[in-house]
Every structure is written in structure tokens, then in C-alpha cells.
Amino acid sequence: MGVTDDILPRFQRLPAAGAAAGSRQGFRCRETHIFLAIGVTIVFICFGTIFFLPDLGESIRRIDSLGRVQKRVQDTAEGFLLPPPPHADEAHENLLLRHDGNQIEDPHVVQDRQKLYDKVRSAGALPPPPLAKPRHVDSGDVDNVEVDEVEPPAAPAAPAPADGGGSRETVAPLVIGDDEDPDPVMRHRRDTVKKMMEHAWKGYQMYAWGSNELRPVSKRGHSAGIFGRRPMGATIVDAMDTLYIMGMTEQFAEGRRWIQEHLDASSLDSEVSIFEMNIRYVGGLLSCFAMTGDVLFRDKAHAIARALLPGFNTPTGIPYSLVVPTTGRAKNYGWASGASSILSEFGTLHMEFSYLSDVTGDPEFRKKVERIRQVVRKLDKPNGLYPNYLNPKTGKWGQRHMSVGALGDSFYEYLLKEWIRSGGEDVEALEMFHHAIGNITQRLLKKSKVSGLTYIAEMQYERPNHKMDHLACFIGGLYALAAVTDSNKNSEQYARIGAEITHTCHESYDRTATKLGPENFRFSDAIEAKAMKMQEKYYILRPEVIESYFVLWRMTGDKKYREWGWEAAQAIERHCRAEAGYSGIQNVESSSPRQDDVQQSYFLAETLKYLYLLFSDKSLMPLDEWVLNTEAHPLPIRGANPLYREWRAT
């Protein structure tokens, strides 16, 4: 056999000779049989096992069915988070003791858990990992928050102005300190409100951390459809400036950490309300930025506002009500008069969007709201009034329904307040307010026949509907604010109307069994300021009446508004307090009302903030330096407040 490059040897046939030849022939037969057996075995191993596998089609069907079940469970449980363990020592085996005495989780356990999660997730679609529960920190930790030009590591990059550069003056954070009222009774009341805030926050922290809202009776998370399907921490964002104003620094630091690590506008993959996202998230974050100078809040507000912009892509520039940020798909509510946009929603963007442009150097937001203003201003107004519905495609009014309550309310509020926020520069807003409030006063202001209570009726197809919403009770404070900030020939009249409407709203509280006001109340020849239908008798922790108490107290100094506010605070404590927070009630006329098991995020943002400010010294958030948006998030007044933090081109 010669030299060969083959890896395996080659067998050559040799000439046969006698017995030796026969022996070799037998050897070749056995050799053939061995190779044949080996080949059959290999074929059996490679292909035979197929016959022992389960039916592939059935397996696929089972996997698909399992996926559908998982999706249903995931959708059903959206917003539901298991509460953190009540005692840290239940998991002591996973904790280490730091040198400063604080416990932290063993990093090896954290790494192992993350590796396991990553492996499981790679095998198929899973929901996002559970949100981190709050970690307690020392009060001093909040002092380490970066301000102005110091960028937190996780914050998105600040937008560059059109000219490619910009800066802001470095201003120290707002200091909350000597702002207690000298009256010990008021100090006690303010302390009581702060304890209510602590109770509401603690329940949310324990049972719904990261969810949008809390169910304080059943002790679990809750989310209204306005926030989409994902847990977006609405209560955290809404409560942040209240925590700061109340000096609850530890809780503020917890909320900031969650916002930095978990608030992500890019994950919004279901319909959200542009209006609600603006007043709660954008407004709340901008308020925190103004007070602290921490650019994390500004940049998060910028990211969320950008995520809402696809909703403005309409022929008129009037935005839709709902948008899916990840896809840009937008639409209106089907029930809104032929799928129209709603006056109180597209009319309640100007304050936040204009201020956002000022502090980021990004002009797009101001352009969006200025276009809305131009469209609305040019339209004819039936009897000088603004209908609640406007078609964003045709630019024509929908159903002729006019109201300063639901569907209309904050549009009028923002006309006056944007003029205030701009430092008096937005004269167009003031002119529109004069026109609107003048026609409301002339056409919708009424007196009850029983005892002459002043109220604002609604208008439907040229006919008045003698009903007020709880939501409409903000307008008492708005009249009073206009009387003081915009001094003119109508100021005295507006001050009187504001006081009278606020008195009427107080009567709607005082005439119920619970001393809490109904969602709607009516006026007729026989009744006044009373709910007539069962579906009108609920109270869902709304702030508007207390808001007017606060504004009237600040504008007039009349102590009765503080007494009325204390009555409301006691009634909330008596009927709405639950084991894990505060809940709305279903019937204000019942001496033992049933709770609805929802702690609205605006309860922490508005109701408790207004009560706290009502019992504080007037030096806390003075109204000649701050103007509160419709969710009670304070925005600085341009030219009057050094905390405005405007971006300046360099």
C-alpha cells in the first residue's frame, strides 16, 4: 500500500490464491455486515426518535393556548403588584449589614436572580420585572440631589436650543422652613393634614408601589384607563411637589429614585390621555424642577411631552384625546359628540407646554399650543360661549353644550392663569378670558329661588340646565383670583361673585349627612344645592371646593374659609379613611357610606396640598410668585420668581 493523504485507510482487493484467498473472502463478508449494522444503527438514532415524539401540531397548539392564557392573566393583573413584605427580617438571609448600620440586599443574590430572570425571559415573552419597592434613606440624602447644570447619570440629554447652545442661571432650591402660621390652632390643623398625607403615602408605598393608584380597602394597585395599561407611578409623580412642600424629604427621595429608575415614556404602548398625562406628569415634574433645580425632573417632563406629540397631528392642530406613544396612533373618545376633541382637554395644555419650551429651549411645545389658540380664537362662539366639543378634522363645533364643569372647566382656568404665569406678557390669553368670563357672567350666572344662592348653570341647545358639578366649584376661586390679579372695572363684582359661588359650594357640603359634597347638585323651585339622583351622590376625594377656600383665604383673609376647610378635612378623615389610605364614598347622604376603594392620585396632589396651604402662613408658595395648574402643581411666574430657571441662549 503506497503513501496516501486519506485520513482513513483504503482496503485493496488482492489476487485470490488457494485457502488463503477463501479466508480473506470470508473476512470481507463479515466486514460488510459490520459496516451495514453500524449504518443502520446511525440511521435509527438519527431518524427513529421522530416516531416517539409527541404530536408537533398539538404541542404548538398547547403553547399558543398557554400564551393566550398568560396574556389574559397579564392584562387582568395589570397594575397589580404584590405588597412588599411587612417585616424586613422575613428575608434576613438575603440581607447584609453595611458599615453604617443599614441593611442592603446581598449582591450575589441580586445577580443570581437577574441571571435566572434573563434566562427565563429569553425562552419566551414575559412581562417586565417587578418594580422595586422604595428604599428608606436618611433625610439628608435629598440634599445630594444635583441641581441646574449637574446632570444625573440616568437622565436623558438636555435638548439643545436652535442656536446650538444655552444656559440657565444657577439658583438654589426652594427652602421650606419658617412657614407655619403663628396661630397654634392652625399649626395643629396643618400637622393633622400632614399626618393624613403620611397615611395616604404609606398605604400606597406598602401595597401599590409603582402602580398608578391605590385601592386602600383591598390593599392592591389600581389603574384607570387614562394612564394606559402599564404601571406608570401616577401617584408618585402627582404627589412629589406635595411631599416637598410638606418637608417630607425621605418620601421625596424615594419618589425621585423611582422616577429616575422606572419612569419611561418610551414604554407607553397603550392609549393614554394627553390631557391627564400633561397636567399630572408634565406639570408635576416641571413643578419639582422649578422648586429643586434638579434637571432629572425637567428631562423626564420633556420626554413625556414629546411622547404625546403624535396626538397633535390633525388637520387643525387641535389634538386628539388619546394617543399610543410607541406607535403614534391617536383618536378621540367615541362618545364625545361624533368623536370630537374636548374643550377642557385641548384647552388645558398652554401653561405646561409654554413653560417647558422656556426651560428646555425647545420651541415646538409653545408652537403646538399657540396653534390651538389661533384656531379657537377665530371660531364663532354661539352667544359668546364656548361649546365643549370641537372636531379636530373640520375645525367645527360639535354638540352645543356649554359648561364650566366637566368638559369645559379648566379651559377658562388656563386663560387667566397662563396670563399670570407669563408675567403678564400673554395679553391674548387675558383678552380671551375677559370675553369668556363676561359671557359666562351674563348668560350662565343664576340665583336659586329658595334662598338666593349664586350658581353657574349649564347651557344645552340654548336652554339652561340648573345643575352644577363639583368640578365647577373651582370657579369661585377663579373669580376671586381675577378680581385681585386683573384690576379693572369688574374687579369688585368678580370678588363678590367668587365669594357667593364658594358659599354655594360650601352649602352643597353642609347640607349632606357626611358634610362632603356630591358630584353634582341641582337647583329648582323646591330644592337647592342638593343631589337628586343616586349616581350624583358620590364623593371621590375631589379638591375643587377646598381649592376655592384656599384662594379666597389668600385673596380676602376671611377666616371662615379656614373653618370650612377644617370641616371638610374632618369629614374626609371620618368617612374616607381606610386602613391603607383614603377612599371615595358612594353616597354622601348616608351616615355610614360605603367606600369605593380608590385613592385618586389627585387626592395627594390637590386635596391635601390645598388643605396644607390653607393652614400655613401665606409666605408658603405666595400667589404673586407661583400659579398652580389645574392639578395644583405650582409653576413659577415669569419675571416675579427667581426659580423660573429659563433657558437662555449663549
Residues with catalytic function: 519
Sign of CA dihedral 282, 235, 320, 632: negative
Of 505, 570, 509, the residue nearest 537 (C-alpha) = 509
Chain centroid to Cα 522, Å, comes to 32
* 336 within 8 A of 321, measured Cβ to Cβ: yes
Backbone φ and ψ of 247, nearest 5° = 75, 25
What SS3 string covers 598-612?
Answer: CECHHHHHHHHHHHH
159's grid cell: 435638548
- Cα gap 366→69, rounded to integer Å: 45
- Cα gap 95→176, rounded to integer Å: 35
**How crowded is residue 182: how many other Cβ atoms within 10 Å of its Cβ?**
7
- Cα gap 587→589, rounded to integer Å: 5
What SS3 string covers 439-476?
Answer: HHHHHCEEECCCCCCEEECEEECCEEECEEEHHHHHHH
Chain centroid to Cα 450, Å, comes to 42
- Cα gap 575→592, rounded to integer Å: 8
Chain centroid to Cα 584, Å, comes to 19
DSSP assignments along 42-53, one per residue: HHHHHHGGGGGS
* 483 within 8 A of 491, measured Cβ to Cβ: yes
Enumerate the β-bridge partners of residue 401.
460
Phi/psi region, residue 518 (left: phi>0; alpha: psi -120 to 50; beta: rest), is beta
3-state secondary structure of 389: strand
Backbone φ and ψ of 529, nearest 5° = 55, 40
* 581 within 8 A of 596, measured Cβ to Cβ: no
Which residues in 296-307 are b (16+ Cβ under 10 Å) and which e?
bbbbbbbbbbbb
- Cα gap 591→568, rounded to integer Å: 15
454's grid cell: 349664586
Question: Which residues, at least 6 apart from 317, have a Cβ–Cβ distance to it below 8 Å?
Answer: 368, 371, 372, 375
* 356 within 8 A of 646, measured Cβ to Cβ: no
- Cα gap 433→449, rounded to integer Å: 29
- Cα gap 429→375, rounded to integer Å: 13
